[in-house]
Structure 1
Amino acid sequence: MAIIADPVPAVARPFWRQLYVQVLVAIVAGGLLGWLSPETGVALKPLGDGFIRLVKMVVPPVVFLTIVTGIAGMRGLGRLGRVVGRTFAYFLSVSTLALVIGLVVANVVRPGAGLNIDPASLETGAVAEYVQKAEDSGIVGFITEVIPDSMLGAFTSGNLLQVLFLAITTGIALGLVGDAGAPLLRFLESAQAVVFRLVAMFMALAPIGAFGAFAFTIGRFGPGAIANLVGLLATFYITSLLFVLIVLGVVARLAGFSILRLIVYLKAELFLVLGTSSSEAALPSLMEKMQAAGCPKPIVGLVVPTGYSFNLDGTNIYMTLAALFIAQATNVELTLGEQLLLLGVAMLSSKGAAGVTGAGFITLAATLAVVPGVPVAGMALILGIDRFMSECRALTNFIGNAVACVVITRWEGAVDEAALEAALGRQRGLAAPVGETDTD
């Protein structure tokens, strides 16, 4: 059953009706308002929060329905196991490489050198809640929290991993019962069509959400918040950009597609992520677009939501880079062995906080709490600019998961080549982006 609107190549849409143009204009307008009238910008925070809450409301049913119907329609559990194995092998390889790159860049650029900060002089109250969350989201807690208290509880917990667990097990069970489960499968496919239409309705509000969120960011933190730490911000943004263009670019090329064309294809979602500082805001639309680009629903349903918990390339770069920045700023010299320990702990803690709100800062707290020598209090140094770094983390994470989806589909030999070429080769203005509909 098709859930994605067919493109209409014969009709050109005016540029001002393109979602990415509307979101970009909203970001610029919100930034100007936050800069010129900070109090007004801060007061608009509910617009951004409200939009993100709307999207988060439909994320659990989107993920559940996509995975269940996809697995139930998959031929044989052997293929499911192969897809899962390849997915986690890819995630582990690329996310570990991101951690290593952050570590290497921090040692070469040394963005924290010369600050000479005394840890005792730092105000740690602001970071205390993140440290507490890090303690609550350890590896053991992470494993137990994957299993929901009840089937309905998976949808209300806010933990996407619980939805994944319930969806995979339900999809397997539905596939095993065969014809007896056909009526339920048809019902779930119909429900999926309704939920995706709901997503399209909510996405029409994306410019308003981006406007409010970006106005708040600039109004609350302002350009002055980054003045003293511009070196760290620049290092992080440039490193993430090079990671996307070079590392993910090579991965994409080896898989037979262009990273730049994929970025252009996802431009509306990327602007939304930039404006809201949340990759989760674009999750439903990403899943829809990956299917439109020729990736089968079962693979999209497994790879994309799982990647949001386990394939956080931007977060991993941030973790090692920020940890060494704090060490350098507080004049703590880490030996090679200590840096390798930091890398190993980061590999675990980045998974332990999966599905936790504010995971980037929390995983950093969890890592520093284990590594001796680096003061956790040093996190106060970067708390003021974490919002700006969060945008870069979210963008890199989002692109990384889009690349992973196409790559794993290629490994499975399941790509619809015509659909992929049509999506990535589509010229601007020839067709409406997936999820956009005319409202006239």
Structure 2
Amino acid sequence: MKFALQAKDILRNYANILYLLIGITTGCVIGFLFGNQVESIKFIGDIFLNLLFTAIIPLVFFTIASSIANLQSSERLGKLFAIVAAVFLTTVIISAAVMMLVMLAFPIAQDDTLRNMAAQAALDNPVSSNSNTSATGLAQVLTVNDFSELMARKNMLALILFSLLVGFATLRAGEKGKAFATFLNSANEVMKQLLAIIMKIAPLGLGAYFAYQVGVFGPQLIGVYAHPLALYYITCAAYFFIFFSLYAYFSAGKQGVTVFWKNNLTPSMTAIGTCSSIATIPANLLGAEKMMVPAYIRNIVIPLGAPIHKDGSSMSSIIKLAVLFAMFGKDFSAPEMLFAIFGITVLVSIVAGGIPNGGYIGEVFAITAFGFPMEQALPVAMVIGTLVDPIATLLNANGDLIASMMVTRIAEGKHWLNSRLPS
């Protein structure tokens, strides 16, 4: 009976992913069976994507502005906050670097299937596909000269900067800005609910999209996704066991490794079972307590890390960008791209945490930053994000747990665990 209840809980937690996979799989089968005839249902996918594109501008604005407006300017985390930030940033960069090295060692080929997908989508959406070329300078990328231009997806970076400024302005307004902050919070919740409603038709919309893609480009698409997904899962598994052991060793030597893995099963299974870093917070807090992480550290690191510390998301960002670079014939290995990819990856891993449905805002931000046409790039990124979500969540949530040990090591010294172990 208990096993049956646990199975039901897992199915319920994964319902959205399962529905999406069923829709995509059904669409691929229909496209394979009926070939070019599926062009007649392409409009369903277009409707879904158009709804998403319509919601993106207000969603980005209210999400970022409300988050900044809700900061408490009186809070001073001081030295501990600096340590936490440094640990979070370091592990995100390391995880991204590991995935980057794997993608450089085993690059995704710029084959005809990917190029044909991009070319066909450019023909379907000539204006949108070319819109990203209008910005030629840094000022044009980060700002616009008319408020109405913020409503264009091609100016996403300018919108993000403007949203940050509005949030800080609201914070500076103090008591007089509280009413506006309340409006931002309310609007942010409304837009999240709107996104949740739109995502209800994602299985149908993406199913139609992939029926069209498979019908036009054939079953070779399976190989396009199989290669990066295999690399991602193998790399994440290696990162989980090898690097988390190294982090535990850094935290408290051999005893740290033993304590971490001995008390890590429940948090790991909770992360996989719920597919949510937020839902894993209670298990992580209990695990950190058993690992003897001090309360003042675990009660800050784990709740704070759940929305913003994303090792798995940083790695998935790399894999998505690698596929998109191959799709649009760009050189992923170009030295000048490394800093840009790392910077976008860090931002995406942070932004994605507070948004439902697989970090949609982060995906849009990355696509816009590198100038990929939204109509053909977004569905690809969404599908990859869905397929990698379980193991990405494991790394995201477990990363908070190991980070709490690392923060303790830096804050209290290398003998912190010995002083707490029974003699």
| TM-score bracket for this pair, using the shorter chain length | 0.5 to 0.7
Pick one of 272, 281, 284 that aligns with 1:283.
281
Preserved contact between residue 309 and residue 350 of structure 2 (Cα < 8 Å): no
* Structure 2 residues not aligned, in runs of 5+: 27-71, 129-150, 172-176, 190-201, 215-220
Q: Amino acid of the residue matched to residue 321 of structure 2?
A: A
Q: Distance in 2 between matches of 1:375 and 1:355?
A: 25
Q: Do residues 310 (structure 1) and 312 (structure 2) align? A: no
Q: Distance in 2 between matches of 1:255 and 1:28?
A: 36
Structure 1 residues 354, 113: CA separation in 2 closer, same or farther (over 3 Å shift)?
Answer: same
Aligned-partner SS, 2:114: coil
Q: What's the offset of the Cα at 1:398? A: 0.5
Q: What's the offset of the Cα at 1:317? A: 0.8
The 5 Å alignment of 1:28-427 reads 80-114=77-111, 115-118=113-116, 119-122=118-121, 138-139=160-161, 141-142=163-164, 144-145=166-167, 150=178, 153=182, 227-228=222-223, 229-256=225-252, 257-258=256-257, 259-273=260-274, 277-334=275-332, 335-352=334-351, 355-358=354-357, 360-372=359-371, 374-376=372-374, 377-413=376-412, 417=417
Other-structure match for 1:205: none
Structure 1 residues 132, 406: CA separation in 2 closer, same or farther (over 3 Å shift)?
Answer: farther
Q: What's the offset of the Cα at 1:385? A: 4.0
- Pick which of 299-308 and 410-419 moved more: 410-419
Preserved contact between residue 358 and residue 389 of structure 2 (Cα < 8 Å): no
Q: Distance in 2 between matches of 1:268 and 1:419?
A: 29
Aligned-partner SS, 2:108: coil
Q: What's the offset of the Cα at 1:314? A: 0.7
Q: Distance in 1 between matches of 2:412 and 2:343?
A: 34
Structure 1 residues 345, 381: CA separation in 2 closer, same or farther (over 3 Å shift)?
Answer: closer
Instruction: Choose between structure 1 and 2: higher helix proportion.
Output: 2
Q: What's the offset of the Cα at 1:247? A: 1.8
Q: What's the offset of the Cα at 1:157? A: 5.7
Preserved contact between residue 23 and residue 268 of structure 1 (Cα < 8 Å): no
Q: Amino acid of the residue matched to residue 317 of structure 1?
A: M
Q: What's the offset of the Cα at 1:240? A: 1.4
Aligned-partner SS, 1:281: coil
Preserved contact between residue 311 and residue 400 of structure 1 (Cα < 8 Å): yes
Q: Amino acid of the residue matched to residue 264 of structure 1?
A: L
Aligned-partner SS, 1:278: coil
Q: Distance in 1 between matches of 2:360 and 2:322?
A: 14
Q: What's the offset of the Cα at 1:311? A: 1.7
Q: Distance in 2 between matches of 1:401 and 1:418?
A: 22
Preserved contact between residue 154 and residue 368 of structure 2 (Cα < 8 Å): no
Other-structure match for 2:6: 23
Q: Amino acid of the residue matched to residue 402 of structure 2?
A: V
- Pick which of 348-357 and 143-152 moved more: 143-152
Taking structure 1 as the reference length, the TM-score comes to 0.56
Q: Distance in 1 between matches of 2:226 and 2:6?
A: 26
Q: What's the offset of the Cα at 1:348? A: 3.7
Other-structure match for 1:212: none
Q: What's the offset of the Cα at 1:97? A: 1.6
Other-structure match for 1:437: none
Residues 108-166 of structure 1 show CA distances to partners (whole Å, capped at 9, x for unaligned) of 222354233332423789xxx9x699669725524754877649959966989xxxxxx
Q: Amino acid of the residue matched to residue 279 of structure 1?
A: S
Aligned-partner SS, 2:365: helix
Structure 1 residues 416, 352: CA separation in 2 closer, same or farther (over 3 Å shift)?
Answer: same
Q: Distance in 1 between matches of 2:327 and 2:300?
A: 41
Q: What's the offset of the Cα at 1:393? A: 1.9
Q: Amino acid of the residue matched to residue 141 of structure 1?
A: S
Q: Distance in 1 between matches of 2:185 and 2:98?
A: 37
> Between Structure 1 and Structure 2, how many residues are aligned?
311
Q: Distance in 2 between matches of 1:371 and 1:397?
A: 25
Q: Distance in 2 between matches of 1:329 and 1:89?
A: 34
Q: Amino acid of the residue matched to residue 283 of structure 1?
A: I
* Structure 1 residues not aligned, in runs of 5+: 1-15, 43-67, 161-215, 423-440
Q: Distance in 1 between matches of 2:336 and 2:114?
A: 23
Preserved contact between residue 325 and residue 331 of structure 2 (Cα < 8 Å): yes
Preserved contact between residue 310 and residue 351 of structure 1 (Cα < 8 Å): yes
Preserved contact between residue 297 and residue 404 of structure 2 (Cα < 8 Å): yes
Taking structure 2 as the reference length, the TM-score comes to 0.58
- Pick which of 410-419 and 99-108 moved more: 410-419
Aligned-partner SS, 1:362: helix
Q: Amino acid of the residue matched to residue 272 of structure 1?
A: G
Q: Amino acid of the residue matched to residue 23 of structure 1?
A: Q
Structure 1 residues 22, 254: CA separation in 2 closer, same or farther (over 3 Å shift)?
Answer: farther
Q: Distance in 1 between matches of 2:14 and 2:296?
A: 39
Computed over aligned residues only, the root mean square deviation of the Cα atoms, in angstroms, reads 5.0
Structure 1 residues 290, 30: CA separation in 2 closer, same or farther (over 3 Å shift)?
Answer: closer
Other-structure match for 2:47: none
Q: Amino acid of the residue matched to residue 238 of structure 2?
A: L
Q: Amino acid of the residue matched to residue 101 of structure 2?
A: V
Q: Amino acid of the residue matched to residue 250 of structure 2?
A: L
- Pick which of 279-288 and 150-159 moved more: 150-159
Q: Amino acid of the residue matched to residue 264 of structure 2?
A: I
Q: What's the offset of the Cα at 1:248? A: 2.1
Q: What's the offset of the Cα at 1:251? A: 1.0
Q: What's the offset of the Cα at 1:361? A: 3.7
Q: What's the offset of the Cα at 1:283? A: 2.2
Q: Distance in 2 between matches of 1:144 and 1:342?
A: 27
